[in-house]
Structure 1
Amino acid sequence: MSLDTEKLHRLTGKQFDKLYSQNAAKYTEMAQKALAYAQTCIPAGEKVRPGDVVSVIQNAVRIDPTFERHLKDKKLKQRFWLAWFAEYIVEQVFPQPELMNPQPKKQGG
């Protein structure tokens, strides 16, 4: 579960970026609450991953009237928009580090 370039282009092509920016405060609060909830579910010693937060956000977004209206207005019936938009929200609120010239991990010794 991660937002890639293709998903991002398709989301912006259907104006999900505008949906987010017009409701940024609501979606930011949603993501922060989703993170807090995910932290209560993750075993001690393990870290919360973006996919954990995305899963929680999906449950909130699926009943969000603004999101439902956007799908209806754009005539989008595919279910993947929910997951992709949740990934988009997480990336906007909790940006992931850049992958500029990543150094592969050395295996062995």
Structure 2
Amino acid sequence: MHPATAVVADIVAAITPLDPLEQEHIEQTLSWLAGTDDIFRREPPVTPPQHLVSYVVVVEVRACVPRGGGQQRVRSHTATNIAATRQVVHPVSGPMPHSA
């Protein structure tokens, strides 16, 4: 198994399923990873037919600021929210320290 594929397999194997369907998906994914190293898309839209996909959620922090505070309030609120939520969590080893 290619090292990159092994890392993905380790991450998937460390997931604790919340229901039987998730357990089934984990087993299917591990079976797929054990059978190929061709896990990254090489050509759009689907080559290889089964490949890894990642999704990112973008949050507009300023949309969460209470009204009536002005620009300084937006800056302060944004900085506070970013500082409070700035933590990287590795799916296998858990929370990771961040650098300032």
Fold shared by both chains (TM-score > 0.5): no
Q: Could you say which structure has the higher strand fraction? A: 2
Please report the TM-score for the alignment, with normalisation by the length of structure 2: 0.26
Structure of greater Rg: 2
